[in-house]
Amino acid sequence: MNQILLVEDEQSVLGVIKAYLEKEGYLVHSADTGLRGIDLFMAERFDLVILDLMLPDISGEEVCKIFRQTSDVHIFMLTAKGSLNDRIEGLRIGADEYLIKPFSPRELTARVNALFRRLNGNVYSSGVIFDDGNLQIDCSKRTIKVCGKEKPFTPNEFDILRILVANKGKVLSRDQLIDKLYGEEFSGFDRTIDAHIKNIRKKIEMDTKNPKYVVTVLKAGYKFG
């Protein structure tokens, strides 16, 4: 059974989300403060964190940074901050998805279901090596090494790179990447992909201005070089 940590200080929102997710068969642990959420996170192994950013004691951004220091767990951010810069900053510090309040609990549940279908149904089980071993991707362990050193990847970053590698040489548009990554339930913005690509390049490219692995094709999308 997949375990979910829900960190949300609004009791009405927390109760509704928890009820929807438990109805789908998930085991949901909840916390109404950031510090309580951190305590739970350190004590249990979670498959997903749903994290509100406006918490009474410590910001959700700080909680996310703490989680990312030790884990690549999938993180959904919930917030009333809806500007493009806020969304990109959330992705930069380690979030995988970003939902703007108010949102439908049905949409959140659909995204959670799509996530676990993707993770549990991953058919890419082999490892691949590029550039004389300078880039190694192990799909079964979901690890990536650059020049022999393992790099921390969020689940979405790993899956985007995996999708590009599986379609090596083929240009994939943002919409195609979004569809393969999130499924039809996604109703976000295409800059999500750009933010993830930027993070990926920082981790695997020696020269991010002239990338040789993840290449931009002007007005078309991205491909694995």
Predicted pLDDT of residue 123: 43
d(CA 124, CA 55): 38
The helix/strand/coil state of 144 is strand
Predicted pLDDT of residue 183: 66
d(CA 115, CA 4): 12
Percent of the chain with pLDDT over 70: 91
d(CA 70, CA 111): 24
Average pLDDT over residues 103-124: 77
HEC string of 11-44 equals HHHHHHHHHHHHHCCCEEEEECCHHHHHHHHHHC
Q: Is the pLDDT at 110 greater than 80, yes or no? A: yes
pTM: 0.61
Average pLDDT over residues 46-60: 93
d(CA 188, CA 113): 16
Percent of the chain with pLDDT over 90: 42
Q: How many CB atoms lie within 10 A of CB 195?
A: 21
d(CA 212, CA 225): 6
Domains and CATH numbers, the chain: 3-120 (3.40.50.2300), 153-224 (1.10.10.10)
Confidence of residue 191 (pLDDT cuts 50, 70, 90): confident
Token duo for residue 199: 């993070």
- Highest average pLDDT, of 38-42, 85-89, 155-159, 170-174, comes from 38-42
Q: Is the pLDDT at 171 greater than 70, yes or no? A: yes
